[in-house]
Amino acid sequence: MSAVRTVLGDVSAGELGVCDAHDHLFFASPRLPGEELRAAAAARAELAAFRELGGGTVVQWTPYGLGRRAADLPALSRETGVHVVAATGLHQDVHYDEGTLAALRDRAAEVFVAELTRGIGTSGVRAGLIKVAGGFHALDAHARWTMSAAAEAHRATGAPIAVHLELGTGAMDVLELLCGELGVPPHRVVLGHLNRSPDPAAHRQAAGSGCYLAFDGPSRAHHATDWRMPDAVRDLAEAGHGDQLLLGGDTTTAAARSVNGGPGMPYLLRRVAPRLALAVGEELVRRVLTENPARAFAVQWR
Ligand SMILES: [Zn+2]
């Protein structure tokens, strides 16, 4: 039976409810000094606020080495009643010191598989997806080896692969590598951040592969393109790709949390969903928040 691998164990896809398909409870990168998401109390408050508005599941895309705090996730999930899915994988090389990457150079796939099947560190908490990252309109050597490792871990486990597209670009490069060269089935790939490069033709081209497209935000850094999201979603739905769309909040800084006066996780349900319903209707928004993530993240685990 296929199941979504949450921090409290495998659950059937039908149990997810309303899903924030791309977000962060914890995240710490040297690239964002002073903006780390480290506070468990704030993470709990975000989950509770999301739950209050009908939220059922949060998929955290924080990968290896960026402060996932895996051991804290089960209690947060249990206390708030929100399913949480954790990630393995690696972000762009700028987020790591050389020693961390050197230590993983020849064993990244092995580490990803261990985190998906045995647990992250000593926490016993298993990851439910593999996160990797592309570059700006291209894939560098780091993106290639991490995606190769992700594909290998996918083959071993069945886990979905979620991809950070740098400023929303490089979708076709990612798909050609992951699905073309490395043979990952497109329906096991989720592309994130396409809203940051709102080119409708490029979106349709990527969707044509059969992969999932996760639209995320809003964010202060990407305000210039965030408001185009409803049009992009409508365009894809009209082209027949409504079943491949996902939505997430992608809270990456402490200032963006609702407990600190930002939009945070509840904003997805408080404002994004009703705004999107104006563009595509409530029925599609319901499917995008429930049925699509259930399919995207449910896996026949091996
Ligand atoms: Zn993210």
pLDDT value at position 30? 86
What is the CA(58)–ligand 1 centre distance, in A? 12
What is the CA(201)–ligand 1 centre distance, in A? 24
Distance, C-alpha 149 to centroid of its chain: 18
pLDDT value at position 35? 85
Q: What is the DSSP string of 138-165?
A: B--HHHHHHHHHHHHHHHHH---EEEEP
Q: What is the pLDDT of residues 58-96, one digit of tens each?
A: 999 999 999 999 999 999 999 999 999 999 999 999 999
**CB-based contacts of 204, cutoff 8 Å, min separation 6:** 235, 236, 239, 241
pLDDT value at position 32? 82
Q: Which of 21, 59, 82 is nearest to 212 (CA)?
A: 21
Per the rule left: phi > 0, alpha: psi between -120 and 50, beta: everything else, 81 is left
Q: What is the pLDDT along the chain (302 residues), one digit of tens a residue?
A: 899 999 999 999 999 999 999 999 999 988 888 889 999 999 999 999 999 999 999 999 999 999 999 999 999 999 999 999 999 999 999 999 999 999 999 999 999 999 999 999 999 999 999 999 999 999 999 999 999 999 999 999 999 999 999 999 999 999 999 999 999 999 999 999 999 999 999 999 999 999 999 999 898 889 999 999 999 999 999 999 999 999 999 999 999 999 999 999 999 999 999 999 999 999 999 999 999 999 999 999 99
**CB-based contacts of 297, cutoff 8 Å, min separation 6:** 4, 13, 16, 19, 21, 59, 85, 128, 129, 160
pLDDT value at position 31? 85
Pairing of β 18-23 and β 9-11: unpaired
What is the CA(279)–ligand 1 centre distance, in A? 24
What is the CA(1)–ligand 1 centre distance, in A? 29
pLDDT value at position 235? 98
Per the rule left: phi > 0, alpha: psi between -120 and 50, beta: everything else, 83 is beta
**Is the Cβ–Cβ distance between 66 and 28 less than 8 Å?**
yes
Q: Which of 55, 91, 117, 42 is nearest to 249 (CA)?
A: 55
**Is the Cβ–Cβ distance between 230 and 210 less than 8 Å?**
no
Q: What is the pLDDT of residues 215-243, one digit of tens each?
A: 998 988 899 999 999 999 999 999 999 99
Residue type for position 270: R
Bridge partners (DSSP) listed for residue 212: 190
Q: Which of 302, 269, 265, 261 is nearest to 288 (CA)?
A: 269
What is the CA(237)–ligand 1 centre distance, in A? 23
Tokens standing for residue 183: 């043979």
Q: How much is the CA Rg of the chain, to the nearest whole Å?
A: 17
What is the CA(59)–ligand 1 centre distance, in A? 10
